[in-house]
């Protein structure tokens, strides 16, 4: 079994980024936990897409029961570790904290959650936090080994279901591994979480693409249920002159190289331009800024108020020196002797740039969906499911995460995995114990 030490090299550019929110020590964690009011029917819990019982886990940190805190977190969200690090807590749990109404800084819920789960990972006993039900003989396959699939697989494994994940890459974890801004989490953090879920008893087959190495119809035939958690596809391109060639990258491809490719570097860039207004665009801009690129511009076709990216992330980007060019629609990438020198906008403005990152979206998994009879996609290419159960038009096939949502959060993918696991257990007649992790958190 591959563990993360064997999968990644040390000379990855992402390692130049320190944690924006460093790991708490015991003293810091207990002090912050003691600030928590221990609200009744707490708004932070209501705001969490997975319904983690936040005041309960924080109180456990305060009493010195970090293992109990990890149990509370992971029962409602098996991906509580990556969520602690990548969730936009400002608009979720921490944004709902009653301290905001008191004009005081909200509880650092993400950092406390990271502290508790990382402590459980560190002591090597996280795999024994939950009791695993006896084997049921049921088999489920997951297409993709990203957050939605890992969440589903972990819960099903605990319920006694035999789960196999088919991952086309050599490395599991999906966007948690390849796409998280490195000042939030490095690749090894994502892989620690994969190792934890693996320790619950799942099988991951890396480097196996459904549709080529394995046929979709074989999965549908050989397994009792199939979950599609493939996320999104290639970066969308602008389709304008000059786009092909050195210096212009798709955003997720560029981020993936920065995080994983040994020796990848950003050198001698004077002006980096990121095209787009979503969270991936903001991430890329902050990354360039933190890599000491002197000028970083975000090129967005509408205005700041209309940006789909989080306001708090854009504010942070501005504080780090990123400038926003509004109402800017690229018409052509300008090259001199093949080298990128700027971007011409459709209103005639010219933006200097010797590196451009195109972050305007990713393709949707239409091709994969088409391989499963009965699985429909909407006009936007998202797989259509019943939201409560994550079931597609084919009663044996379920789907969740970005493949369904078209670019959402890790925490919503984790909740999709949990919902689908519940629905699959019901459909297959797998009993869920009253005190099982699968019953924790929101429905």
Partner 1 sequence: MADLSISFAGIKSPNPFWLASAPPTNSGAQVMRAFELGWGGAVWKTLGNPIVDTSSRFGSLDVGGQRMVGFNNIELITDRPLEVNLREIAEVKRRFPDRAVVVSLMVESKEDWRDIIKATVDTGCDGLELNFGCPHGMCERGMGSAVGQEPEVLKVVAGWAVEYSPIPVLIKLTPNVGDILEPGVAAVAAGVHGLSLINTIKSLIGVDLDRMVPYPVVGGRSTNGGYCGPAVKPIALHMVAALARDPRITVPISGIGGIATWRDAAEFIALGATSVQVCTAVMHYGFRIVEDMIEGLSNFLDAKGMKSVSELRGKALPAFTEWGDLDLNYKVVAEVDPETCIGCDLCYVACRDSAVSCIHVGDEPLAEGHRAPTRERAIAAARRDGRTAHVVWVDESECIGCNLCSAVCPVPGCITMKDVTGAPFESWNDRIAKGTAKVPGGLEDWRAARSGKR
Number of residues that bind partner 1 (CB under 8 A): 15
Beta bridge partners of 352: 342
- The single residue listed with the structure tokens 């009663």 is 395
What would the x/- binding string for partner 1 be over residues 221 to 250, using CB under 8 A? ------------------------------
Part of the chain binding partner 1 (CB under 8 A), chosen from 93-101, 130-138, 209-217, 231-239: 93-101
Q: Can you tell me which of 5, 6, 10, 40 binds partner 1, judged by CB under 8 A? A: 40
* Binding piece for partner 1, criterion CB under 8 A, among 40-48, 179-187, 242-250, 252-260: 40-48
Q: Is 426 in the site for partner 1 (CB under 8 A)?
A: no
Of 97 and 210, which has the nearer Cβ to partner 1? Answer: 97
b/e map of 128-162 (b: 16 or more CB within 10 Å)?
A: ebbeebeebebbbbbbbbbbbbbbbbbbbbbbbbb
Binding mask 106-145 for partner 1 (x = CB under 8 A): ----------------------------------------
User: What angle is formed at CA 157 by the lines to CA 152 and CA 158, rounded to 5 degrees?
Assistant: 105
- The least CB distance from residue 304 to partner 1, in Å, is 20
379 near partner 1, judged by CB under 8 A: no
Q: Which is nearer to partner 1, 23 or 37 (CB)?
A: 37
Q: In 3-state terms, what secondary structure has residue 315? A: helix
Nearer to partner 1, 30 or 253 (CB): 30
Q: What counts of helices (H) and strands (E) characterise the chain?
A: 18, 13
Which of 3, 25, 31, 221 binds partner 1 (CB under 8 A)? It is 31
Rounded to whole angstroms, what are the CA distances from 420 to 70, 133, 162, 443? 23, 18, 15, 11
Longest CA–CA span in the chain (Å) reads: 68
Tell the smallest beta-carbon distance from residue 26 to partner 1 (Å). Answer: 12
271-283 b/e (C-beta count within 10 Å ≥ 16 → b): bbbbbbbbbbbbb
Contact 411, 441 (CB under 8 A): no
* DSSP state letters, 171-207: S-STHHHHTS-TTT--HHHHHHHHHHHHHTT-EEEET
Selected range binding partner 1 among 38-46, 140-148, 288-296, 390-398, rule: CB under 8 A: 38-46
Compute the least distance from the CB of residue 254 to partner 1, in Å.
35
Q: Give which of 413, 433, 401 is closest to 160, Cα–Cα.
A: 433
Q: How far is 198 from 184, CA to CA, in rounded Å?
A: 23
State the Cα torsion 55-61-63-68 to the nearest 10°.
90
Region of 26-34, 118-126, 229-237, 389-397 interacting with partner 1 (CB under 8 A): 26-34
Phi, psi (degrees; rounded to nearest 5) at 376: -105, 155
Output the smallest distance, CB 373 to partner 1, in A. 43
Least CB distance from residue 311 to partner 1, whole Å?
13
- For partner 1, which is the closer residue by CB, 33 or 153? 33
Residue in 34, 125, 303, 363 binding partner 1, rule: CB under 8 A = 34
Say if residues 181 and 142 touch (Cβ distance below 8 Å): no
Pick the stretch among 11-19, 37-45, 220-228, 257-265 that binds partner 1 (CB under 8 A): 37-45
Among 102, 135, 363, 366, the residue binding partner 1 under the rule CB under 8 A is 102
In terms of Cβ atoms closer than 10 Å to its own Cβ (0-12, 13-18, 19+), residue 246 is exposed
Nearest approach in angstroms of CB 32 to partner 1 is 9
Minimum distance from CB of 31 to partner 1 (Å)? 5
What are the structure tokens assigned to 383, written together?
Answer: 């797989």
Q: Segment contacting partner 1 (CB under 8 A): 68-76, 96-104, 134-142, 265-273?
A: 96-104
Of the candidate residues 3, 9, 23, 38, the single one contacting partner 1 (CB under 8 A): 38
CA distances from residue 313 to 126, 157, 179, 310 in whole angstroms, order as listed: 32, 36, 16, 5
The single residue among 2, 16, 91, 98 that binds partner 1, judged by CB under 8 A, is 98
| Interaction between residue 99 and partner 1 (CB under 8 A) | yes
Binding string, 52-71, against partner 1, x = CB under 8 A? ----------x---------
- Asked if 41 interacts with partner 1 (CB under 8 A), we say yes
Instruction: Say if residues 316 and 285 touch (Cβ distance below 8 Å).
Output: no
Residues that bind partner 1 (CB under 8 A): 30-31, 34, 37-41, 43, 62, 96, 98-99, 101-102
């Amino acid at each position: 079994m591959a563990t993360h030490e064997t999968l990644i090299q040390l000379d990855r550019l992402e390692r130049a980024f320190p944690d924006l929110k460093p790991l708490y020590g015991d003293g810091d964690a207990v002090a912050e936990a003691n600030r928590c009011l221990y609200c009744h029917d707490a708004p932070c819990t209501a705001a969490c897409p997975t319904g983690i019982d936040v005041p309960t886990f924080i109180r456990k940190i305060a009493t010195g029961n970090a293992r109990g805190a990890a149990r509370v977190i992971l029962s409602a969200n098996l991906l509580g570790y990556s969520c602690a690090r990548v969730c936009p807590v400002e608009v979720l749990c921490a944004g709902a904290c009653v301290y905001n109404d008191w004009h005081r800084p909200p509880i650092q819920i993400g950092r406390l959650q990271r502290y508790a789960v990382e402590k459980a990972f560190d002591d090597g006993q996280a795999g024994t936090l939950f009791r695993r039900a006896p084997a049921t003989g049921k088999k489920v396959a997951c297409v993709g080994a990203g957050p939605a699939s890992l969440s589903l697989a972990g819960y099903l494994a605990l319920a006694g279901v035999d789960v196999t994940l088919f991952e086309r890459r050599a490395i599991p974890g999906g966007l948690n591994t390849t796409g998280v801004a490195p000042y939030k989490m490095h690749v090894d953090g994502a892989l620690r979480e994969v190792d934890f879920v693996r320790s619950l008893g799942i099988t991951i087959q890396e480097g196996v693409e459904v549709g080529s190495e394995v046929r979709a119809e074989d999965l549908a035939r050989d397994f009792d249920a199939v979950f599609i958690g493939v996320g999104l596809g290639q970066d969308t391109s602008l389709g304008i002159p000059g786009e092909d060639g050195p210096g212009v990258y798709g955003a997720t491809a560029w981020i993936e190289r920065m995080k994983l490719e040994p020796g990848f570097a950003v050198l001698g860039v004077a002006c980096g331009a990121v095209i787009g207004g979503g969270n991936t665009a903001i991430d890329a801009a902050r990354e360039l800024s933190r890599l000491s690129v002197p000028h970083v511009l975000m090129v967005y076709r509408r205005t700041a108020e209309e940006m789909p990216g989080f306001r708090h992330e854009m504010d942070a980007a501005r504080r780090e020196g990123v400038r926003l060019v509004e109402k800017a629609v690229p018409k052509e990438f300008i090259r001199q002797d093949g080298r990128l020198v700027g971007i011409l906008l459709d209103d005639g403005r010219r933006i200097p740039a010797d590196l451009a990152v195109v972050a305007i979206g990713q393709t949707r998994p239409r091709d994969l969906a088409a391989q499963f009879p009965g699985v429909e996609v909407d006009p936007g290419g998202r797989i259509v499911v019943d939201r409560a159960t994550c079931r597609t038009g084919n009663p044996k096939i379920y789907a969740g995460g970005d493949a369904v949502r078209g670019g959402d959060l890790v925490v919503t993918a984790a909740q999709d995995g949990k919902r689908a696991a519940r629905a699959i257990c019901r459909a297959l007649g797998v009993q869920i114990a009253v005190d099982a992790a699968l019953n924790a958190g929101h429905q």
